[in-house]
Amino acid sequence: MKVQNYSLDDIFEKRLLLLLPFYIFSHEKNFPEYNSNEQKLDELKAEYKKILTRLDELEQQKVIGAFDKRIIIELSGDVIKEIAQKYGNVQKVVGDMMRGALIETETRTILNQGIEQGIKQGINDTKKEAALKMLHRGKLTIEEIAEDLELSVAEVERLAGLQTV
């Protein structure tokens, strides 16, 4: 399969996203020009910005996950690093853009997802601890505890069952 046979639109429309890291090969013959012509290099940079934007959109639409997107970007950066070794400007501009995308977007996304999950778990654990204390005091009904702590009656009943065991 030759990546050069697929346009960027083809790759995205046909969901051939694993070809993205090798898309740079379609530009390889132009590296000398990109390396010495800032305007051409800016055009290449704009094309890779489009790739990153489209990957972001697919992630937001839940077509791909953060992990898949990260792998595609990392592989793209690795391929660019290897094939553009003789072309410092190409390697720096496009390679740095791909590495920057990982640092700024993916790491934050993954970190924020972890923080959000941790907060939810912490709140849930705190509610359960409070329910156990309230059950131990015996001043409120299971239904009142469930309502006050925004837990289901079944969850409080389960906790009440654990308390007596």
Q: Which residue has the tokens 């379609």?
A: 26
Residue 96's closest CA among 23, 44, 59? Answer: 44
The pLDDT of residue 39 is above 90 = yes
Instruction: Provide the percentage of residues in the chain whose pLDDT is more than 70.
Output: 89
Whole-number pLDDT of residue 100: 62
Whole-number pLDDT of residue 88: 87
pTM over 0.85? The answer is: no
The pLDDT of residue 165 is above 50 = no
63-72, 90-99, 118-127: segment of lowest average pLDDT: 90-99
Tokens of 15: 């969901």
Q: Where are the domains of the chain?
A: 3-117
Tokens of 27: 């530009």
Per DSSP, the three-state class of 16 is coil
Distances (CA, A) of 138 to 130, 135, 152: 12, 5, 18
